[in-house]
Structure 1
């Protein structure tokens, strides 16, 4: 189901809690909402649709990747960039890593650990920040 986008910084700054298999519908709602905003958005976190759960979805090439409870376990090559956010107006400077290693549960709640680079890594970092209540 496509959900409305939360724009309240107060709500977005509240850290999320771990997701469980009972939260699978949140993942589907995130996927649906990302598709609806594909013209202006490449990633979303559950708090952006009003759910304080550690769930993100990231456009990774032609597919959207769903991640439950993502955690960055390693990173390298810091750089400065500027980002926008569907929940906030304008762009802001931020620091990101060019390479990250992420542990997460996939759409079937199976454990995964993968390395991401470039723009995909940047999107994942932005969405994990959302889960941690950090806004750009």
Structure 2
């Protein structure tokens, strides 16, 4: 009987550990990425999320990723320190970010890739009220 108790206790600890590790791994990469294929004449832009967390979040419990939209297409969800490169055609584009603070609240940045360098950096962050913002570097 004691062996069964030890076995089930050990099994529960292992399952709990795996679920905690799995949740931590969920934040290592952005999800739902679009515009990842490099095409002829496309311009590479690099997007990186900084390390600022929303209120009541921790590194191991991030419930409020920043959602990036390119020309109204949801193009990725970024947790802290995530980054991705996008390949966009030379044109004017609208970058928009939203997060869980208020779905109606968003930040937009108009970019013109016709007149910019071939490699552009953007940082996704949050302001003091946890509203998402985009900073061009």
| TM-score for the superposition, normalised by structure 1 | 0.27
Q: Which has the larger radius of gyration?
A: 2
Answer 1 or 2: which has greater strand percent: 1
